[in-house]
Amino acid sequence: MTEPKANILLEGGAAGSRFARVHEADPRESVVKVLAGNRYEHFRRTGRTAVHEGIALDVFEWSGSTFVAE
């Protein structure tokens, strides 16, 4: 089994949100959502890149939250 290859960096988020900032995502995606406790944090591609630990990552910026349906 291979380790996931991080290719995106998440910026921003709701106050108090705790989640990993570096993720793997399909390079064709323009929106990603990350489970953070009882809600999903939504992020949109910015067109920018940032270097993280020597690797250029596509930057996604926080665009809002939705709660998990019960």
How many Å is the maximal CA-CA distance in the chain?
41
* Percent of the chain residues topping a pLDDT of 70: 93
Other Cβ atoms closer than 10 A to 59: 18
Question: 2 pLDDT band (50/70/90 cuts)?
Answer: low
The answer on pLDDT for 43 being more than 70 is yes
Question: 9 pLDDT band (50/70/90 cuts)?
Answer: very high
**Whole-structure pTM value:** 0.86
Question: 4 pLDDT band (50/70/90 cuts)?
Answer: low
The answer on pLDDT for 1 being more than 60 is no
